[in-house]
Amino acid sequence: MSRILVSACLLGERVRYNGASAAADSGILEHWLAEGRVVSFCPEVAGGLGVPRPAAEIAGADGAAVLAGEARILTRAGTDVTGQFLRGATLALDAARTQGVRLAILKDGSPSCGSTTIHDGTFTGTRRTGNGVTTALLERHGIRVFSEQEFEAASAYLAGVEE
């Protein structure tokens, strides 16, 4: 049975930078939980960052650029947290590989978990198209990432890989 990596905050865990969760309301997710497919993971906490923690954004680039060593992740005060984000992404990939994960549902907009948009590095609430660091690493290794707006598409993808 394929397993599904899910952002811990989407499962109601209070691990976001501001100490909140972002619990997803989805019948598909409930079904996957009942089947025992769900692997809960928060890359930023796994990477060593606390809760709460200062918000951080990729500075003018995306997760792929961070993986390539061409961009950094900074807090508003300018603290470089790139290392913690990269560690969290690596640990997410390790967890996915060891637990038979084929796809992921990750919280969009996050510098770790974003899959359609991320913040643009200006701390003004402005989003740009792009992936977070964990999303970029998972997809590089063949694990398809969907956002919390894409449960239907993820369910169809799962059905396809399990045919």
Instruction: Summarize as ranges the residues that interact with ligand SF4 (CB under 6 A).
Output: 7-9, 15-16, 42-44, 107, 110, 112-113
Cα dist. 2→13, 98, 154 in Å? 23, 12, 12
Closest CA to 64 of 145, 135, 142: 135
Question: How far is the C-alpha of 145 from the C-alpha of 51, rounded, in Å?
Answer: 24
Q: Are 131 and 106 in contact (CB under 8 A)?
A: no
- The CA distance from 140 to 144, in Å, is 9
Q: Give the Cα separation of 147 and 124 in Å (integer).
A: 22
Report the nearest approach of ligand SF4 to the CB of residue 19 (Å).
10
Q: How far is the CB of 132 from ligand SF4 (least distance, A)?
A: 8
Cβ-based nearer residue to ligand SF4, 64 or 105: 105
In the complex, minimum distance from the CB of residue 110 to ligand SF4, in angstroms, rounded to a whole number: 4
